[in-house]
Amino acid sequence: MSTPLPLLPLGKSGFPNLRANSFVYVDKTDLICRLAKTQPKVFLTRPRRFGKSLLVSTFESLFKHGLRDFRGLNIEKSWNDKTYDVVRLDFSRVKNFSSVEQFRVKFFDSLASCFNNVGFEIPQDRSRTIVLLTSFLEKLASNSLVVLIDEYDAPLSACIDNKPLFESVRAELSDFYLALKSCDECLRFLFITGITKFSSTSIFSEFNNLKDISLDSEYGTLLGYTENEIKTYFSAHLAQAQATLRLSTAELLDGLKSNYNGFCFDRHAETKVFCPWSVLNFLNSPSQGFANYWYASGGHPTVLLQYFKGHELRDPSGYAEPKKVWLRDLETPRDFENVDCDVLLTQAGYLTIRSVTPNKVVELAYPNQEVAMSMAQLYADQLLAGKTYSSTDNTALEDILANGNLEDVVRRFNEVFNAVDYKNYPITSEASCRATLQVLMIGADMVPHVESHSALGRSDIEVDAGSRYWVFEFKFAETQAQVTHLLAQAVDQMQVKRYGGIPRETKLLRAALVFCAQERRFVAWQEVKSN
């Protein structure tokens, strides 16, 4: 009888429960110990599904119960502090509201309830919560209280598209942080975490000694799994996945790295981590293969959805191109209205640090294939502006490429272009035509190869579809009069440069297509036989 695999901590954010029930725990307690000993006030941003809530729960257990839940972990030999009163606030619980009055009720009730656990008397008049809380904190002994705030930005993200409401909520939150600041002698440890870095909450202006470790190299692996940690803590699960998928050890690790690794939270770009949520989902269901878990579970946080209500993504031709920003733009808190799109995408986990130059220019890129596909889905959502393109048989594009003829494929391409938000994303060049199809293919979980090299040139898009391998060459016509010439040019180019000529087991299909700007669709096409 085979030995049961250790339990995976999938979706587990309660540290005591995780430890009591023998779930796999990747031991980060040496870093947790260092942070709790040396930094009295800490701020940390990370994307969703990276374990922020579990980290908050770990701090809560450590300060409230000492080493009760830490037997056998690294921290045992170095932690000797006493226990403290702990207040844990989860601001995601107060993010559903439509008016400042509703927010106040939820917010003040949450504050009163959480601080009641350490002796604060819940006021009859909730409007006096902040005033009475300030008085309560002033009477506490020095270094006697630990305050942990999870998802601090959730209320602001929830109303970010409503400026008057945003400002009202911001003011209420600022009053709370001012109360903490005015009584900060009572604080042994303050930990604040979320996704984004808002400058307008009074956090950064009032807490002068608040240590932002979001890009601190020392804590770059505090959240997320390193490759060595995966090999060490999940060896039995890796073996199962290897057997299920019939992969070698190297092939399995390569698949994990290309799909789920690559996140860098290190201003020196020296360390990378895997997304825990994606790795755990893969190990939990290896028979699903290297599926995309990012977008459905945390890849479209509220702050991004709200941001794109008032801002457009760049032209799709900018998809997958590395982006460059100053390091200070990643480190400095911004008002939401002034935040750079690439900075916000980095905080949300869509982009990550690839390299940093000596003069502090950061190159940003997608961390891995899973996120690249998720980004394409985000682009597709924006391009289609919430619409879906119509189809007589509702067959997926991948199925049409796998089983249909060129006429079917072109018809589906044109349905796509007809659905695109043309006002904001006009097709103005061959590059934007190619990029739009690339984005929509990737968003549909296909993996197109763009500008693939042959011995003599580069095709526009190549893509696997079942037992077929399609090679496309696009031309862009400003007017109908150019179409015939451009089609002949595309056919000749494919033949002369032998696009798709590498021997393969799948059936090769090559097609030349001409997009006409006047008609906003492909108007001419031809299958190109292999030489």
- Hey, what are 118's tokens? 């350490």
Helix axes 235-245, 276-284, angle to 10 degrees: 60
> Is pLDDT of 66 > 90?
yes
Q: In what order do the strands lie in the sheet with 323-326?
A: 323-326, 361-365, 352-356
Count Cα neighbours of 147 within 13 Å in the Cβ-side half-sphere. 23
pLDDT band for position 377 (cuts 50, 70, 90): confident
- In this prediction, residues 360-382 reach a mean pLDDT of 86
The torsion of the CA quartet 53, 57, 58, 59, rounded to 10 degrees, works out to 100
Distance of alpha carbon 348 from alpha carbon 300, whole angstroms = 8
pLDDT band for position 423 (cuts 50, 70, 90): confident
- In this prediction, residues 320-327 reach a mean pLDDT of 88
Which of 23, 28, 1, 3 shows the shortest CA–CA distance to 13? 23
Distance of alpha carbon 338 from alpha carbon 333, whole angstroms = 10
What is the full DSSP assignment across 219-284? Answer: GTTSSSB-HHHHHHHSHHHHHHHHHHHT--HHHHHHHHHHHH--B---TTS---BB-HHHHHHHHH
> Is pLDDT of 451 > 70?
no
- In this prediction, residues 498-525 reach a mean pLDDT of 88
Q: Which helix (H) or strand (E) holds 507?
A: strand 507-516
* Cβ neighbours of residue 149 closer than 8 Å, sequence gap 6 or more: 89, 91, 190, 191, 192, 193
- In this prediction, residues 43-55 reach a mean pLDDT of 94
Q: What is residue 480's predicted lDDT score, i.e. its pLDDT?
A: 92
* Cβ neighbours of residue 212 closer than 8 Å, sequence gap 6 or more: 43, 44, 197, 331
Distance of alpha carbon 419 from alpha carbon 382, whole angstroms = 11
Residues 110, 93: contact at Cβ < 8 Å? yes
Q: What is residue 434's predicted lDDT score, i.e. its pLDDT?
A: 86
pLDDT, tens digit, 9 for 90 and up, residues 196-243: 887 666 676 667 678 999 999 999 999 999 999 999 999 999 999 999
Q: What is residue 2's predicted lDDT score, i.e. its pLDDT?
A: 65
pLDDT band for position 336 (cuts 50, 70, 90): low
- In this prediction, residues 377-406 reach a mean pLDDT of 73
Q: What is residue 358's predicted lDDT score, i.e. its pLDDT?
A: 94
pLDDT band for position 431 (cuts 50, 70, 90): confident
> Is pLDDT of 362 > 80?
yes
* Range scoring the smallest mean pLDDT among 16-20, 279-283, 338-342: 338-342
Domains of the chain and any CATH numbers: 15-217 (3.40.50), 225-384 (no CATH), 385-527 (3.40.1350)
pLDDT band for position 159 (cuts 50, 70, 90): confident
Distance of alpha carbon 233 from alpha carbon 243, whole angstroms = 18
pLDDT band for position 6 (cuts 50, 70, 90): very high
Q: What is residue 205's predicted lDDT score, i.e. its pLDDT?
A: 66
Which of 113, 208, 201 shows the shortest CA–CA distance to 157? 201
β-strands 361-365, 323-326: how paired?
Answer: antiparallel
- The number of angstroms, rounded, from the C-alpha of 147 to the middle of its chain's C-alpha atoms is 27
What percent of the chain is predicted at pLDDT more than 90?
60
- Hey, what are 45's tokens? 């941003």
Higher pLDDT, 484 or 394: 484
Distance of alpha carbon 169 from alpha carbon 305, whole angstroms = 19
- In this prediction, residues 108-122 reach a mean pLDDT of 94
* Range scoring the smallest mean pLDDT among 86-90, 138-142, 294-298, 386-390: 386-390
**Residue 420 burial (CB count, 10 A):** 23
Q: What is residue 392's predicted lDDT score, i.e. its pLDDT?
A: 43
Q: Residue written as tokens 């924006």? A: 382
pLDDT band for position 376 (cuts 50, 70, 90): confident
Which of 422, 341, 346 shows the shortest CA–CA distance to 383? 422
Find the farthest-apart pair of alpha carbons in the chain and give their distance in angstroms, rounded. 87
Q: What is residue 163's predicted lDDT score, i.e. its pLDDT?
A: 85
**Residue 71 burial (CB count, 10 A):** 8
pLDDT band for position 33 (cuts 50, 70, 90): very high
- In this prediction, residues 362-372 reach a mean pLDDT of 91
Q: In what order do the strands lie in the sheet with 461-465?
A: 449-450, 461-465, 468-477, 507-516, 521-527
**Residue 14 burial (CB count, 10 A):** 16
- Hey, what are 198's tokens? 């808002």
pLDDT band for position 387 (cuts 50, 70, 90): low
Q: What is residue 375's predicted lDDT score, i.e. its pLDDT?
A: 81
Where do the H-state alpha helices sit in 332-388? 341-347, 369-384
| Buried-state track 208-226, b at ≥16 Cβ within 10 A, e below 16 | eebbbbbbbeebbbbbbbb
- In this prediction, residues 425-436 reach a mean pLDDT of 85
**Residue 456 burial (CB count, 10 A):** 11
Q: What is residue 420's predicted lDDT score, i.e. its pLDDT?
A: 84
- Hey, what are 247's tokens? 């992969």
Higher pLDDT, 268 or 124: 268
pLDDT band for position 391 (cuts 50, 70, 90): very low
Distances, alpha carbon 238 to alpha carbons 157, 200, 253, 285, 510, in Å: 38, 45, 9, 11, 40
β-strands 211-212, 41-45: how paired?
Answer: parallel
